[in-house]
Amino acid sequence: MGYDAIFQRVAAEFDLNWYLLMEQAYSESRLDAYAVGPNDELGLMQITRAVWGEWAPRVGATEPHDPESNVRVAGAYLDWIRTRLARVGRPESYWTMAAYNWGIWDLLWLVEAGGLWRHVPAEHQDYATVIVVAAEADALAAQIQAPPASLYG
């Protein structure tokens, strides 16, 4: 089952890159809406119960294993993370991805203490880098496959 339309809707709602959402869901759950992680993370985006409890009511999400609800909660949370990181001068996608994986408070503490990207633990750097590079490759592939606008005439 394809989830492109869900990723596109949620990305538009929260001004996110839909390829980034899709690659993150693939990294988190291999696009398995019923996935349950080793620490009880739920659904496509492997939402923790704490994040679900805080964000689901805010966005009207009903069921963590419902793809639309799960991605919407992740989208709202990612938007909030990105906004928090922008306030400390780190608006880039790879910082947002690292914060999602590591925890926003750990990453903010690091940044506010003067930490740089090289100070982020390697496992979180790797997580973020794989997702961001894959999303960039997806966007480039889509651009290459689309005919130039001038052909529409």
Domain boundaries defined on the chain: 4-152
Chain segment 76-90, per-residue pLDDT in tens: 999 999 999 999 999
Supply φ then ψ for residue 97, to 5 degrees: -65, -40
pLDDT above 90 (res 153): no
Q: Which two tokens stand for residue 32?
A: 């398995």
How far from chain centre, in Å, is Cα 65?
17
Which of 8, 83, 3 lies closest to 43 in space, CA to CA?
Answer: 3
How far from chain centre, in Å, is Cα 10?
11
Q: What is the pLDDT of residue 2?
A: 82
Question: What is the pTM for the complete model shown?
Answer: 0.92
Beta strands (DSSP E) in the chain are: none
Task: Express as a percent the part of the chain with pLDDT over 90.
Answer: 91
Neighbours of 127 (CB within 10 A): 21
Q: What is the pLDDT of residue 152?
A: 46
Neighbours of 83 (CB within 10 A): 11
Q: How far apart are CA 121 and CA 141, in angstroms?
A: 30
Q: How confident is the model at residue 143 (pLDDT cuts 50, 70, 90)?
A: confident
Please give the mean pLDDT across all residues of the chain: 94
- Classify domain 4-152 by CATH number: 1.10.530.10
